[in-house]
Structure 1
């Protein structure tokens, strides 16, 4: 009986050992493959920048109902000479940067293929009509619009992207672009849309594609 138990324990130990060795070998091969991929393709994450933003109106009624309209242009740059990005439709939102981050308007940019070493200009007309907001948020929005520095805004783009390398394509991965440092004022009633300065606007790209982090 004791000999049989020792034999079973020995088999279990050998099985665990070989499983561990096999796992380490797989991890090593994956690391080598990733290193080779990096050396061959030098992947860089895409870059985004707000090139123009115009505010047609931002109205908050006495009943805390929001109406707004923005015209946005964002440049998307693919810095890679060997990789192509394939984007799904992009959800675009304009949010207040203070307080609860009130959603001021939404739009969708159609899907597109982003070629190598290419910069593409993305445009969207963003609007909200009759959206009910919290009374506290409505008060904060009114205060921001009345201030000399303007209302603090941020722009958020959400989409999924896959990378195309020759005839190969990666699975789609979620990506979020957040652009901050925006101060906007609404034009007076009957006046033309007000242009917003984009000189200080910075866009941050968050993605779960790990290999892009190596280039930071």
Structure 2
């Protein structure tokens, strides 16, 4: 008996294997159908733009400027507080100066048309402060002028003026004027026309102020006194018809 031919099923090698809808080991998808994935979409990385950092030099300069202004403002406030306290404690007042007398001891022209002059000026200095003393230091300079021409010069002696003190000084002054003949003619004409001779006294005096037991740094007083006298003749009494002094100081 002839062998019957056996037919075995041959697998279809043309059809690719199908992947399961849900990968192995994962939970079941909520979607009924798989979500298509666009394999052609390129992977893009977002670019984050960072702001440019400020320059270090500029920030350092601004920081230094702010610190400097803050320190200056603090110093100004501290100095203002100290000055306010000192003012309330000591109650400072400006000293007062006046010219009380003038004596001409020499006013003689010489052979070379110059003029030799010598004066004695009585100066009264008043310190009205109750808790402030004044040290008059050396290096002062006092001059007397007529119509822009310096006649004589001198200096105050060194001394200390205490609280509420009045000091009278007799100050000798001398000088030599060029073109003395012209100056004498101008003085005579001035006296004949008005009967008065205007003079200007300038003083520059270094002083140190004493607040209690504290001595401040040296400063300079500047005094300007305008005088009107009746004459400038030697060995004769001179009358001062008008006198006014202004005062200021600087460090």
Q: Give the shorter-chain TM-score range.
A: 0.7 to 0.9
Q: Does 1:122 align with 2:172?
A: no
Q: Which is further off, 161-170 or 76-85? A: 161-170
Give the secondary-structure state (helix, strand or coil) at the position aligned to 2:195: coil
How far the C-alpha of 1:165 sits from its partner, in A, is 1.5
Q: Does 1:170 align with 2:220?
A: no
Q: Tell me, yes or no, if the aligned pair for 1:52 and 1:195 is still in contact at 8 Å.
A: no
1:66-90 Cα offsets, whole Å, 9 max, x none, are 1222221110000110110000133
Q: Summarize the alignment of residues 73-152 of structure 1 with structure 2, pairs less than 5 Å apart.
A: 73-89=122-138, 90-96=140-146, 98=147, 101-128=148-175, 130-133=176-179, 137=183, 139-152=185-198
- From the superposition, tell whether residues 81 and 155 of structure 1 become closer, same or farther in structure 2 (CA, over 3 Å): same
Q: Does 1:159 align with 2:205?
A: yes
Q: In 1, Cα distance between the equivalents of 2:182 and 2:213?
A: 53
- From the superposition, tell whether residues 107 and 135 of structure 1 become closer, same or farther in structure 2 (CA, over 3 Å): same
Q: In 2, Cα distance between the equivalents of 1:11 and 1:142?
A: 73
Give the secondary-structure state (helix, strand or coil) at the position aligned to 2:92: coil
Aligned length: 201
| TM-score of the superposed pair, with normalisation by structure 2 | 0.70
Instruction: Give the number of the structure whose alpha-carbon radius of gyration is greater.
Output: 2
| TM-score of the superposed pair, with normalisation by structure 1 | 0.80
- From the superposition, tell whether residues 145 and 62 of structure 1 become closer, same or farther in structure 2 (CA, over 3 Å): farther
How far the C-alpha of 1:18 sits from its partner, in A, is 2.1
Which structure features the higher share of strand residues? 1
Any runs of at least 4 consecutive aligned residues in structure 1 with deviations exceeding 6 A, and if so which?
A: none
Structure 2: gaps of 5 or more residues: 1-50
Q: In 2, Cα distance between the equivalents of 1:6 and 1:42?
A: 53
Q: Does 1:185 align with 2:231?
A: yes
Q: Does 1:52 align with 2:101?
A: yes
Q: In 2, Cα distance between the equivalents of 1:77 and 1:64?
A: 41
Which structure features the higher share of helix residues? 1
Structure 1: gaps of 5 or more residues: 210-216
**Aligned equivalent of 2:237:** 195
